[in-house]
Amino acid sequence: MKYKIALKKTDEGYSVSTPGLPGCWSQGATEQEALQNIQDAIQEYLAARDELLKDAIVREVEVSS
């Protein structure tokens, strides 16, 4: 699965977030470290989401623009 990320250079290194997953962000001293860290953060985010939805009835809706 692929997610768009926003990578920004900072004074401390790199900040990275996943706009499609609110609150899912990370950082790293190098670009490569930040990219690895956001991959880990996305996996943890999705695991937490799945746990929250474990006993829920989940449906999909289509939205047209």
Residue 64 clears pLDDT 90, i.e. is over it: yes
In a domain, 22, yes or no: yes
Give the chain's domain count: 1
CA distances from 2 to 18, 25, 44 (A): 11, 15, 15
In a domain, 59, yes or no: no
Whose structure tokens read 């250079």? Answer: 9
Q: State the sign of the Cα–Cα–Cα–Cα dihedral 22, 27, 30, 32.
A: negative
pLDDT digits (tens, 9 = 90+) for 10-56: 999 999 999 999 999 999 999 999 999 999 999 999 999 999 999 99
In a domain, 28, yes or no: yes
In a domain, 65, yes or no: no
In a domain, 57, yes or no: no
pLDDT value, residue 65: 83
In a domain, 40, yes or no: yes
CB 55 within 8 A of CB 63: no
Q: Which domain holds residue 34?
A: 6-52
pTM: 0.84
